[in-house]
Structure 1
Amino acid sequence: MIELILIGIGTGNPDHLTAEAAKAMNASDLILVPLKGEDKSDLAGLRLAICREALTDPATRVETFDLPVRDPATPDYLARVQDWHDAIAAIWEDRIRAHLDAGGGPRVALLVWGDPSLYDSTLRIAERVGRRLPLTLRVIPGITAIQALCAAHAIPLNDLGAPVTITTGRQLRAGGWPEGASTIVVMLDAGGAFEALDPAGLTIWWGAYVGMAEQLLIAGPLSEVAPQIIATRSEARARHGWIMDIYLIRRG
């Protein structure tokens, strides 16, 4: 039986790694690290740096693999993502089988940005692998980008006794402000989805590379700081070649 361990590693800061996560990494026989397009040097480099810092057992192997690219010819977004997940699962299966065939141990781990439960598809991909290989699944929780954002701005996530809606940039552009929400957190925004909102009475707390040395933070009335966020985001993406950002918007 294979044990597949999904380890939340926070937002890229090695200090975000929990003691439980470090123990799980050292108990693993193989850690798989994905390489993704333009993100290869920085994002894979951060994962590999975390491995170098956390691993004390020389028996743990670290192996990289290239992520497949989503097929732009598939017009339906969800179908395109499902096909992409199928392709990733096939690569995981191939690497795990090769590892076992070479005499490797049964504990295989993947390092997941933030936490595997929040807007991350690793659990769904693992489910696919589990249909083809005999495995048990173990999840190690990590610090989320939401936690890191609120900590960086020193704000509470919610208003007193009020709900919070977590959504995506795609959903915000398509549907506008979620009905009944007083606070929203927006993830996976390709850039500037908040421009689709009427900014009156809205305050935004924005962050990019939260928790990392490159961290950028902007906060204020949306009507005043929106252009600054757009410009800062564009400059940062051009400088690094990639960007991960998140923001919280509150009414009143």
Structure 2
Amino acid sequence: MRTILVIGIGTGDPEHLTLQAITALRRADVVYVPDKGAEKAALRQVREAILARHAAPGTRLVPVAIPRRAEAGSDYRGVVADWHGAIADRYAAAFADTLPDGGTGALLVWGDPALYDSTLRILETLSGRGLALDWQVFPGLSAVQLLCARHRIPLNRIGKAVTITPARQLGPRLPDDTDTVVVVLDGDETFLTLEGDDLEIFWGAYLGTPHEILRAGPLHAIRDDIAATRRTARAAHGWIMDTYLIRRRGDE
């Protein structure tokens, strides 16, 4: 039986790891480092900085080439399922080649493994194929939490619900019964199409890194600035991770 430690590492700052996560990382014989090519080399370097600070001396680092996802088109779930299957193939091969029976490996997950990350689903897939795996999960600081901390706002308003959603689920208007929406995975800048002069936005990119950028204010007044800032930053760094919170202005 191989053991995989799934460790939430926050959004880029080595100080985001909990003491429990650091202890878990130091148990690992092997750490698997996703390699998404030259475009995402900076993300790999962040992981390596975290490992340099917290991993036990002599811990093996094994790069795993992660395939690019095909364009989703009209079959988003099917494309994602195929992509996850291909990633599972890569991890299965890496575990078989580098982690002996009884060994302990680690996967470092951005933010928290439970929130908009598929590592746990991929391990379930591997287990379903008959691979003898056990895994343990160590939560991390999510981008949602850090966004609120940086803007000094509560995530929810008193007695109100919060919706966390990918941008592709948004319509042109927030539903009337929706108070606060946190939007993730918005590569198409959906915030530019939202209607309503009563909306305010709290946006953040590269949270927890030296490149962190924050914007906040009435959506209709700053949306163009956010879009321009986002495009400039992506061109400069070759990648961008951002998220934002939108709510109607009103009583807290």
TM-score (norm 1): 0.94
Are the aligned partners of 1:191 and 1:230 in contact in 2 as well (CA < 8 Å)? Answer: no
Equivalent AA in structure 1 for residue 120 of structure 2: L
Q: Which segments of structure 1 move beyond 6 Å, counting only runs of 4 or more? A: none
Q: Secondary structure at the match of 2:106?
A: strand
Q: What's the counterpart of residue 156 of structure 1?
A: 154
Q: What's the counterpart of residue 69 of structure 1?
A: 68
Deviation at residue 175 of structure 1 after TM alignment:
6.6
Q: What's the counterpart of residue 89 of structure 1?
A: 88
> CA separation of 1:121/1:160 partners in 2, compared to 1, >3 Å: closer, same or farther?
same
Q: What's the counterpart of residue 184 of structure 1?
A: 181
More displaced, 130-139 or 202-211? 130-139
Q: What's the counterpart of residue 204 of structure 1?
A: 201
More displaced, 231-240 or 75-84? 75-84
Q: Secondary structure at the match of 2:26?
A: helix
Q: What's the counterpart of residue 147 of structure 1?
A: 145
The equivalences for 1:43-62 within 5 A come to 43-58=43-58, 60-62=59-61
> CA separation of 1:214/1:197 partners in 2, compared to 1, >3 Å: closer, same or farther?
same
Are the aligned partners of 2:166 and 2:186 in contact in 1 as well (CA < 8 Å)? Answer: yes
What 5-or-longer segments of structure 1 have no aligned partner?
none
More displaced, 186-195 or 138-147? 186-195
The equivalences for 1:4-43 within 5 A come to 4-43=4-43
Equivalent AA in structure 1 for residue 78 of structure 2: A
Deviation at residue 89 of structure 1 after TM alignment:
0.5
> CA separation of 1:111/1:73 partners in 2, compared to 1, >3 Å: closer, same or farther?
closer
> CA separation of 1:72/1:167 partners in 2, compared to 1, >3 Å: closer, same or farther?
closer
Deviation at residue 179 of structure 1 after TM alignment:
4.9
Equivalent AA in structure 1 for residue 84 of structure 2: H
Q: Percent sequence identity over matched residues?
A: 47
Q: What's the counterpart of residue 168 of structure 1?
A: 166
The equivalences for 1:218-229 within 5 A come to 218-229=215-226
1:231 aligns with 2:228: yes
Deviation at residue 197 of structure 1 after TM alignment:
1.4
More displaced, 185-194 or 143-152? 185-194
Are the aligned partners of 1:38 and 1:242 in contact in 2 as well (CA < 8 Å)? Answer: no
Q: Matched residues in 2 for 1:247 and 1:72: separation? A: 24
Q: Matched residues in 2 for 1:73 and 1:247: separation? A: 23
Q: Matched residues in 2 for 1:176 and 1:87: separation? A: 36
Equivalent AA in structure 2 for residue 169 of structure 1: A
Are the aligned partners of 2:13 and 2:208 in contact in 1 as well (CA < 8 Å)? Answer: yes
Equivalent AA in structure 1 for residue 70 of structure 2: D
Are the aligned partners of 1:29 and 1:104 in contact in 2 as well (CA < 8 Å)? Answer: no
- Residue-by-residue CA offset, 1:171-224 (whole Å, 9 max, x unaligned): 11x574245110000001003211221131001000000111110000000010
Are the aligned partners of 1:114 and 1:144 in contact in 2 as well (CA < 8 Å)? Answer: yes
- Residue-by-residue CA offset, 1:9-30 (whole Å, 9 max, x unaligned): 0001111011111111110111
- Residue-by-residue CA offset, 1:113-149 (whole Å, 9 max, x unaligned): 0000001111111111112311112000000000010
Root-mean-square deviation (Å): 1.6
Are the aligned partners of 1:165 and 1:178 in contact in 2 as well (CA < 8 Å)? Answer: no
